[in-house]
Amino acid sequence: MAPRIQLEKAAWRWVDSVRPEDITQEHIDLAYRIAVSACKRGTCRRNCKGNPNCLVGIGEHLWLGEIDENTFHNIDDPNSERRDKNTFVGLTNLGATCYVNTFLQVWFHNLELRRMLYMCQNSRAEGHNIESDYEPRTICEHLQYLFALLQNSNRRYIDPSGLVKALGLDTGQQQDAQEFSKLFLSLLEDTLSKQKDPSLQNVIQQQFCGQFSYVTVCNQCSRSSALPSRFYELELNIQGHKNLTECITEFLKEEKLDGDNRYYCESCQSKQSATRRIKLHSLPPTLNLQLMRFVFDRQSGHKKKLNTFISFPEVLDMSPFLEAKDEKCTYELSAVLIHRGVSAYSGHYIAHVRDARTNDWYKFNDEEIEKMEGKKLQLGTEEDLAETVKSQTRKPKSSKGYHCSRNAYMLVYKLQMEEADQTQINVEVPAFLQRLVDQDNKKFEEWCSEMADMRKQSVDKGKAKHVEVKELYELLPAQDGEPYEFVPVEWLKEWLDDSTAIKAIDNSSFLCSHGKLHPDRVGDAKRISHTAAEILYGRYGGGPRIDRSFLCGDCVTQRCHVLRLKNQLNEDYREVTNLAKAQLKSGDPGFWVGKASLRQWRQLALEQLEEEEEETKHTNCKTNGEKTSSSSKGTEEIDVTVLVMVCPSEVWLDISLVYSFICFF
Q: How far apart are CA 468 and CA 537, in angstroms?
A: 14
Sequential DSSP letters for 254-302: -EEE-GGG-EEETTTTEEE-EEEEEEEEE--SEEEEEE--EEEETTTTE
Contact 4, 523 (CB under 8 A): yes
Phi, psi for 640 (deg, rounded to 5): -120, 130
- The one catalytic residue among 348, 518, 561, 618: 348
> With contact defined as beta carbons under 8 Å apart, do 192 and 120 qualify?
yes
Strand 286-291 with 234-236, pairing: parallel
What does the DSSP 8-state code read for residue 295? E
Q: Which residues contact 319 (CB under 8 A, 6 or more apart)?
A: 325, 327, 328, 329, 330
DSSP state of 282: E
Q: Is 268 a catalytic residue?
A: no
For every residue of 122-151, DSSP letters joined together read -HHHHT--TTS-----SHHHHHHHHHHHHH
CA atoms within 13 A on the CB side of 615: 11
**If DSSP states are collapsed to H, E and C, what string results for 176-216?**
CHHHHHHHHHHHHHHHHCCCCCHHHHCHHHHHHCEEEEEEE
Say whether 61 is catalytic: no
Alpha carbon distance 149, 145 (integer Å): 6
DSSP notation for 575-604: HHHHHHTSPPPTT----EE-HHHHHHHHHH
Computed over its alpha carbons, how large is the radius of gyration of the chain?
A: 44
What span, in angstroms and rounded, lies between the C-alpha atoms of 627 and 623? 9
Whether the CB-CB separation of 246 and 224 falls below 8 Å is answered with no
List 48, 54, 98, 555, catalytic entry: 98
User: In a 3-state reduction of DSSP, which class is residue 40?
Assistant: coil
**Are 311 and 396 in contact, with CB atoms under 8 Å apart?**
yes
What DSSP character marks residue 255? E
**H or E element in which residue 116 lies:** helix 111-118
Q: Cis (ω within 30 of 0) for the bond into 544?
A: yes
Angle between helices 111-118 and 98-108 (to 10 degrees): 90
Q: CA-CA distances (angstroms) from residue 507 to 90, 487, 497, 518, 614?
A: 54, 7, 19, 11, 19
Rounded CA-CA distance 443/462 in Å is: 28
3-state secondary structure of 493: helix
Catalytic residues: 98, 348
